Structure 1
Amino acid sequence: MLDDVLALIRENDQFFITTHLGPDGDALGSQLALGRFLRKIDKSVAIVNSDEVGCNFDWMPGIGEIEVFDSSLSQHEALAEADVAFVLDTNDEERLGKVGSLVREATATTVLIDHHLKPEGWFDVPFVRDTAAATGELIYEIIEEIDPDLIDEEIATTLYTAIMTDTGSFRYSSVTPRLHRIVADVLERGGIEPAPIHETIYDRKSMPGLRLLGRTLNRIRLRYNGQLGYSVVTQRMVEDTGASWDDKQGFVNYVLSIEGVEVALLFSETSDGSKISFRSEADVRVDEWARHFGGGGHRNAAGAYVKRPTFEKVIEDVVDAASDYIHFESRHAPDEELSPEDQAYLQTLLDGASDSG
């Protein structure tokens, strides 16, 4: 698989790169790292996505080179002229948005570089390893094989961003000693410091974003004896606080941080359903649960987009299905999920949230 990708890079000159809707740090970092590397070895590269870059990642070096698909002639020509089309960090056509059908029907050799399970079968060359911590790890392997000395400050920054964000800041079970050695090599070759990258992504909060976080925390509910926690972000909440949808980045991790919670969900209301973020502790899997609802992802981090008659119905169906995929311990009597004190405190929070609209 890797050898096939290396041969395609060495033997061709025109490349097209795309990734999934709502691109995250791994998707964007992998795109930018691969794109800059290819240009440094004198290749022609076009990077086109169906969605815009979120504000948490608009600082990344080279971000201006990513075009948002607008069906322009130049974008169609870039794909038509490409020898190779790379699809990064997603393995199905629908997740590519408007670009998906164009890439699938293109004459270019389609190369999948990904670490998710169960890829679709239309890719010509799959470079897939579901044990990889991030797509950025696979991009590093490509660069390492061709010329690791080309890892400069920009490539190092984007690779580090890709790996760090997709491992929950290196706390997921996919993190290995080998991955830490890769990261060390990236940091050394690029001469970069990790702290400013982490701070820019996770610690840069707007005042409206903090208001939205407060309302989200007030809506946390616990189920299954306090081992599952979930909260919601509604369209009304976003409008009332003046926040953007990008501001909810990382909110689900606050739910997971609650003592005793092993599985956390964040439901984000859309016009016709809900986007759901699934997170879990190291030895608890959520990917199969997300896949049951048409989504997918990794062992400890997954997502799904679910259409139901109402937002409330989405929440009910997903939470009720949890016990089919997660083994919850019986920590209290069956009819007592929380202690009376905890129940009273939680109800106070929920009443306050209702009063605030």
Structure 2
Amino acid sequence: MLPIQDLYPLLNTPRKVVITMHQKPDADAMGSALGLYHFLVQLGHHVTVVSPTNWAKWLNWMPGCNKVVDFELTRDKAEGILKEAEWIFCLDFNILLRTKNMAPIIKALNVTRILIDHHAQPDTPTFAYGISDTKKSSTSEMIYDFIVEAGYKHLVNKEVAQCLYAGVMTDTGSFRFPAASAAVHRMIADFKDQGLDHTKVHEHIYDNYLENRLRFIGHVLLHRMEVFYEYNTALISIPKKDLLRYEIKTGDTEGLVNYPLSIQGIRLAAIVIDRDEERKWSFRSKGDFDVNSFARKYFEGGGHFNAAGGRSSASLDETVEHFMQAIQENEAALQEERTSSNKKQ
């Protein structure tokens, strides 16, 4: 994989470009894709954003989202677009498997694949150009860097700013996570200079749900959350019947894993959701407990040091039992912060 900087001189020549992201795209995946889209069209490229799957309805406000092609919904159309592409930008994932059913098609195409991502252990041989930087707050921040370092800061318009701000805001937990660096805040200042109304973006993301989601969250916190203080861990386990009862759609469980981290002393929060084909895990941690390694070791997953995901083909009860065994094996690491705090006292 050649460094992304080698691509900069080639941006002046218009090409047929596809931008894609991981399945079930979140605000960073969709925001970075659409932010890049609005930049590239200003350079004269013919650009299409193709999502591997559907996405949360509360992302539809993003400028350009109405033009995104859903691969699963319109497969023939999407395949035709992919086969005509000269460049495919792969955003917010480190391996093609994250694009689900699109993966074998992208792999087989004689096309220039370009990676821009902030997850660990990228599959670099798959890409002609790229950058992978786990220190970055989000892929949206990396798209901003890409635009600025290529010499096109003047093309960061209002549409680009809105999309990238949404991705950075969500991936930094509204700027509370350590990854919200000084560079991130300087970027936001630039967006504000472009006329960004950050309050509106926040409302689109966080104040745009149906009543059933709030009642679902209340039900889950009351009936589906367990706290294991001996392991500084909290677990939310959601059976499929809850999803059906509250008519939960794509994106409605976004951010739910963060709630238990507000409990004093909790270092690891986990949520497992019973989906049709598999059980989906999300992990969040505080301090120096590495959920990326935890997810890779126990649940075929990965991600970032303090935020990761995983999966299991076992039943919900079986995968929860596996999780309990896993935290028991990691008891010492989960208790380290408490021990060090006691020593300080």
Settle same-fold status: TM greater than 0.5.
yes
Q: Counterpart of 2:310? A: 304
* Correspondence 1:137-148 to 2 at 5 A: 137-144=141-148, 145-148=150-153
Quick check: 1:200 aligned with 2:204? yes
Q: Counterpart of 2:187? A: 182
Following TM superposition, by how much is the alpha carbon of 1:104 offset from its aligned partner in structure 2, in angstroms? 1.3
Quick check: 1:81 aligned with 2:98? no
Following TM superposition, by how much is the alpha carbon of 1:318 offset from its aligned partner in structure 2, in angstroms? 2.1
In structure 2, relative to structure 1, the CA distance for the partners of 1:134 and 1:330 (3 Å cut) is closer
In structure 2, relative to structure 1, the CA distance for the partners of 1:53 and 1:291 (3 Å cut) is same
SS at match of 2:282: strand
Distance 1:313 1:126 in 2: 39
Following TM superposition, by how much is the alpha carbon of 1:162 offset from its aligned partner in structure 2, in angstroms? 1.1
Distance 2:165 2:221 in 1: 30
Which of 5, 22, 33 is 1:20 aligned to?
A: 22
Contact 2:14 2:46 in 1 (8 A): no
- Relative to the length of structure 2, the TM-score reads 0.90
- Amino acid corresponding to residue 3 of structure 1 in structure 2: Q
Q: Counterpart of 2:230? A: 225
- Relative to the length of structure 1, the TM-score reads 0.87
Quick check: 1:119 aligned with 2:137? no
- Amino acid corresponding to residue 139 of structure 1 in structure 2: I
Quick check: 1:246 aligned with 2:248? no
1:127-179 deviation per Cα after TM superposition (whole angstroms, max 9, x unaligned): 11111111111100111123111111111000101111111111222221122
Distance 1:245 1:98 in 2: 18
Q: Counterpart of 2:342? A: none
Following TM superposition, by how much is the alpha carbon of 1:72 offset from its aligned partner in structure 2, in angstroms? 4.8
In structure 2, relative to structure 1, the CA distance for the partners of 1:171 and 1:323 (3 Å cut) is farther
SS at match of 2:79: helix
Contact 1:33 1:154 in 2 (8 A): yes
Contact 2:279 2:313 in 1 (8 A): yes
Q: Counterpart of 2:319? A: 314
In structure 2, relative to structure 1, the CA distance for the partners of 1:74 and 1:331 (3 Å cut) is closer
SS at match of 2:78: helix
Contact 1:226 1:260 in 2 (8 A): no
Quick check: 1:155 aligned with 2:160? yes
Q: Counterpart of 1:276? A: 281
* Equivalent residue pairs, number: 330
Contact 2:58 2:209 in 1 (8 A): no
Following TM superposition, by how much is the alpha carbon of 1:111 offset from its aligned partner in structure 2, in angstroms? 0.6
Following TM superposition, by how much is the alpha carbon of 1:118 offset from its aligned partner in structure 2, in angstroms? 0.8
1:8-33 deviation per Cα after TM superposition (whole angstroms, max 9, x unaligned): 42345211111111101110001001
SS at match of 2:252: helix
Which of 87, 99, 102 is 1:99 aligned to?
A: 102
Q: Choose 117-126 or 208-217, whichever is displaced more.
A: 117-126
Distance 1:104 1:331 in 2: 44
1:321-347 deviation per Cα after TM superposition (whole angstroms, max 9, x unaligned): 135457122899xxxxxxxxxxxxxxx
Distance 1:108 1:161 in 2: 30
Q: Counterpart of 1:351? A: none
Output the aligned Cα RMSD.
Answer: 2.0
Contact 1:233 1:269 in 2 (8 A): yes
Quick check: 1:328 aligned with 2:334? yes
Contact 1:269 1:275 in 2 (8 A): yes
Distance 2:212 2:116 in 1: 36
Ranges in structure 1 where 5+ consecutive residues have no aligned partner: 333-357
Following TM superposition, by how much is the alpha carbon of 1:64 offset from its aligned partner in structure 2, in angstroms? 0.8
SS at match of 1:133: coil
Ranges in structure 2 where 5+ consecutive residues have no aligned partner: 339-345
Contact 1:12 1:84 in 2 (8 A): no
Contact 2:55 2:251 in 1 (8 A): no
Q: Choose 319-328 or 89-98, whichever is displaced more.
A: 319-328
In structure 2, relative to structure 1, the CA distance for the partners of 1:72 and 1:298 (3 Å cut) is closer
Distance 1:76 1:313 in 2: 38
Distance 1:198 1:325 in 2: 37
Following TM superposition, by how much is the alpha carbon of 1:284 offset from its aligned partner in structure 2, in angstroms? 3.0
Q: Counterpart of 1:216? A: 220
Distance 2:79 2:177 in 1: 39
1:27-73 deviation per Cα after TM superposition (whole angstroms, max 9, x unaligned): 00010010111101111011111211212212111101110015655
Q: Counterpart of 1:355? A: none
SS at match of 2:208: coil
Q: Counterpart of 2:6? A: 4
Distance 1:100 1:322 in 2: 33
SS at match of 1:247: coil
Following TM superposition, by how much is the alpha carbon of 1:124 offset from its aligned partner in structure 2, in angstroms? 1.6
Which of 58, 61, 78 is 2:60 aligned to?
A: 58
1:85-122 deviation per Cα after TM superposition (whole angstroms, max 9, x unaligned): 11110011211012111111111111111011111231
- Amino acid corresponding to residue 36 of structure 1 in structure 2: H
- Amino acid corresponding to residue 136 of structure 2 in structure 1: A
Contact 1:32 1:158 in 2 (8 A): yes
Distance 2:261 2:141 in 1: 25
